[in-house]
Amino acid sequence: MRLFLCEKPSQGKDIARVLGANQRGSGCFKGTGVSVTWCIGHLVEPAPPEAYDERFKRWALEDLPIIPSTWRVHVKQDTLEQFTIVKQLLAQSSELVIATDADREGEMIARELLDLCQYRGAVLRLWLSALNEVSIRKALTCLRPAAETERLYHSALARSRADWLIGMNMSRLFTLLGRRSGLSGVLPVGRVQTPTLRLVVDRDRHIERFVAIAHWSIELRLIALEQTFTAKWVAPDRATDEAGRCIRQAVAQQALTALRQAQHAQVTELRTQRIKDAAPLPFDLSTLQETCSRKFGFGVQETLDIAQALYETHKATTYPRTDTGYLPESMWAEAETVLEALVLSDPSIEKLIQTVDRGRRSRAWSDDKVTAHHGIIPTLEPFCLDRLSKDERTVYELIRSHYLAQFLPLYEYERTQVRLDCASNGLLAQGKRIIEPGWHRALKPDQAFTEDDASERSQVLPALAEGDQCWVQKVELKALKTQPPKAYTQGELIRSMKGVARVVTDPRLKATLNDTAGIGTEATRANIIAGLLKRGYLYKKGSSVHASQAALTLVDSVPSAIADPATTAIWEQAFDKIEAGQLTLDDFIAKQTCWVSQLVEHYRTTTLAIHSCSGPNCPLCGAPMRQRTGKHGTFWSCTRYPECRGALPLAAEGNDMTRHRKRRRSKPYG
């Protein structure tokens, strides 16, 4: 019997329908000579330290480091029934087809089961990028030998074991050191979560320590050829900082007086540049999450859940957990079918699709740049658009627009810079004129790229020439201050996690990192952020996220190498090398084991400097609290505010909150 092992029941149902396995069994579907079952995610998980030795139930410094000689997994109790079903089906099967998600985690979900159940039959791999019928049938005709994807399993094991070594040893070590310093509770240290916290902590501290610098700007309204436009005064070098801002008020005031007395400004130089912008690539998951966060205010987990529903439930888009926006060149031949399916799903876009160039091949199709998965695009088959929720439709239309953009012309515009002289002062005016909207026609107004349009460069300038004179209509001095960096939104945090090389300042580490080096994976980043929010290490404030006092304590306590995002990014590159066959699993784990052992020995006798502002736990939800100041003074506020409005008076700094447990307020103190 051939057995198909899927990751989720919904996948199993889709594949079983195509295979004709229509007989529903307990935890499976059966047909003639074929069965389909599923894992419900991970059915097994890494064994805890006490599974290796009973004494590890008690946390003690003398027992560290804990280094397994032979790694173990055990069956998760809440899915024991499904594990038993899968094990029985494996015993009855002569051939297995791994049909879990086509990524590292999917590979590990299946192969850990095969190892635990000691399966010895033939193994093949079904590699799916979409769950619609056409895609499943196509994938079934080209099953891969299991050996082709085995290194994915080794890469996933490397990640899992590195997480275990760091999490189990460092969490115990720093929790025990924290207790010596009077800190109650657990200090959880994670290979990915701690560097993620570090990103937010660093940004929050940068904002907190930011010192504003005063500067002055002069803006002029000019008229030429019966058209009004805006120009800005160009301050002399002696009065500017490195960013070109005028930091000497006296110089700005002197220029203001001269400009207000002038009647004309003369064009001294004019430069026009024609710019052609290619269409953005189809989405990868991180870019989709960042875009939905910025444009629609969606949380990153919310975006992932929607993208997963579009893939699994509605069969509207392809596999979402991808790290690239490029497409295989072979998929270009399927474009005609995809475009026809788009019209059948949504007749309202027929007029737009009639304008696309179906023979156009954009930069998106490139075999060299496709990884294990390709960009997120619409599927080959129509679906019922009316079944989508409002948010699902918003994300679907965004994905669809980026696919349609591949078949539309380049976006072309002219960028013009005009330099003028006014009362011996230099002025600069910038303008933009759209020549060909091109692929922008595929975008709805809320999807358009408006960052550039928000600047004065988006204005349309009159048809000026060198020597032309412009009337001075208005002159205005603006007293400004430099602004601190903005706090992270969830989408921007995902972006920094993915491209961590951009935020690393150490030149040695920066040289080691690839330009695309990141922390976490497309499949895990949203869960990492969600977990930090749930445990109170991050909290939301409007659309931004901030680090709680507990996060400051954690980041300040652990070794800088563990908290440094560059370290984890280097490990992620090691996982890629394992997948590529350039590094073995055993060599990687040996290096990790040595490193963790050295850290334990180095920090075993350290005294932690507990953050002075650490507060009590929230009496409502248990999350850490932080000090806030309101109209009635300073008080303790839940770090999950406004989701949780728990609050305590400042005097309540101990952990004995019994007398405050029953006190619930609709508003915080202050």
State the Cα–Cα distance between residues 571 and 650, nearest whole angstrom: 43
Helices (H), ranges, 581-617: 585-603
Contact status, residue 184 vs residue 655, Cβ threshold 8 Å: yes
Which residues have C-beta within 8 Å of that of residue 41, sequence separation ≥ 6?
7, 8, 79, 109
Contact status, residue 443 vs residue 458, Cβ threshold 8 Å: no
Asked if 641 is an active-site residue, the reply is no
State the Cα–Cα distance between residues 322 and 373, nearest whole angstrom: 6
Taking each helix axis as running N to C, give the angle between helix 193-209 and helix 565-580, from 0 to 180 degrees, rounded to the nearest 10. Answer: 150
> Could you tell me which residues are beta bridge partners of residue 95?
2, 122
**Phi (first) and psi of residue 625, to 5 degrees:** -115, 160
Catalytic residue of the set 311, 319, 326, 488: 319
| Two structure tokens written together for 19 | 């295979």
Distances (CA, A) of 472 to 26, 427, 430: 82, 12, 17
Which residues have C-beta within 8 Å of that of residue 376, sequence separation ≥ 6?
282, 283, 284, 285, 288, 307, 317, 318, 319, 320, 322, 325, 399
Q: Is 506 exposed, middle or buried (0-12, 13-18, 19+ CB in 10 A)?
A: exposed
Which residues have C-beta within 8 Å of that of residue 552, sequence separation ≥ 6?
201, 611, 613
Which residues have C-beta within 8 Å of that of residue 23, sequence separation ≥ 6?
29, 30, 31
**Phi (first) and psi of residue 536, to 5 degrees:** 85, 10
The catalytic residue positions are: 319
